[in-house]
A and B are shown apart, each in its own frame.
Chain A
């Protein structure tokens, strides 16, 4: 695997994980204020 392919894969993984965590963080914050579960219902 070339260094470029490796780089793209790592960046893509970071982006996806961080994006999901960002959405989960908002959900967690909203749940704290309003009530709700962290998982279930809407995807993310």
Chain B
């Protein structure tokens, strides 16, 4: 037997076995990151069942193919009045579906609220959908949602608007811009990572806001798509674009309907500008709103690295729901 073979024999863990164990444990680490959720988060997501209530799916609110909503009605239908919580789905204004938030809507329904998820026409390469048109669809949908709840025997006396990311932006636009025209008082809004203002210098993560033609071109392109209005690069230079994005800039409407607000933003967000949320916070503060503004310093758009702050954010939502929309 050679000297080399003798060395192999005394190895505590053969290299092949070591590599295999490493690969398996690495895979387990990857899977665990997706599979293991913080224990506190389970409180805010409920699997839907008939024990919770009745689910009415795909109720129409307009002519568009996407103009549909799901209505979650609590089991107990004997109350005099109910609070309505509308939760709008995420997806960058281009994707997503109301069923993505089924567990959240089920949680709200299990608390005794009438809950609704609304679809809106998503932006594609072949349509002209914009944040503005989507916000107007939501505005058209709300009375229909309330009407459907009333028809089912659930009298709605107040409501809250909520959502995630793009849905959060739309929820805020409705709450602050359109809330005063709502069929019932909008008393609370909450959500996370929704773009709330469109000031070019805040949008540096997309190369917008620089003093170059290229940057102004990029800004005009993006803001045109979002606002649904043609914005020229020159308008980016003289700031006249601000008028055209005003209708979709929720932060600029806070004083119009300064209702209680709970929001969370990731300081490292690459998908929507964190800086824009600072303007929202300033507007909330200046309008004397009862608000909570959570910053997740190590997280991006998914609020994925600061579970302890996410927990506080959800607790604040629960607290504000109980305070401003108590289940009687």
Contact = CB atoms under 8 A, between A and B. Distances in A.
Interface of A: 3, 6-7, 10-11, 14-27, 30-31, 33-37, 39-42, 44
B44 interface: no
Contacts of B18: 10-11, 14
Nearest to B298: A41
Most central of B22, B31, B34 by chain A CB within 10 Å: B22
Task: Tell me the interface secondary structure of chain A in the complex.
Answer: helix
Contacts of B307: 41-42
Most central of A6, A30, A39 by chain B CB within 10 Å: A30
A42 B10 CA distance: 41
B239 interface: no
Interface of B: 10, 12-13, 18, 21-34, 266, 268-271, 296-302, 304-309
B63 to A, nearest CB: 35
For the complex of A and B, list the 6 residue pairs with the smallest distance between their C-beta atoms, beginning with the closest: A22-B29, A35-B300, A41-B298, A18-B25, A35-B270, A34-B300
Contacts of B23: 18
Given A35-B266, A36-B268, A41 B299 contact: yes
Nearest to B306: A41
Given A7-B13, A34-B269, A42-B308, 10 more contacts: A10-B13, A23-B29, A23-B32, A30-B302, A34-B266, A36-B266, A37-B268, A41-B308, A41-B309, A42-B306
22 contacts: A6-B12, A10-B13, A18-B21, A22-B25, A22-B27, A22-B28, A23-B30, A23-B32, A23-B33, A25-B26, A26-B33, A30-B300, A30-B302, A31-B268, A31-B305, A34-B271, A34-B299, A35-B271, A35-B301, A39-B298, A41-B309, A42-B298
Contact of A19 (B26, B296, B298): B26
A40 B304 CA distance: 11
Most central of B25, B27, B307 by chain A CB within 10 Å: B25
A19 B29 contact: yes
B299 A36 contact: yes
B28 to A, nearest CB: 6
Contacts of B269: 34-35
Given A10-B18, A34-B269, A34-B271, A22 B30 contact: yes
A10 B15 CA distance: 11
B304 A34 contact: yes
Contact of B28 (A17, A19, A40): A19
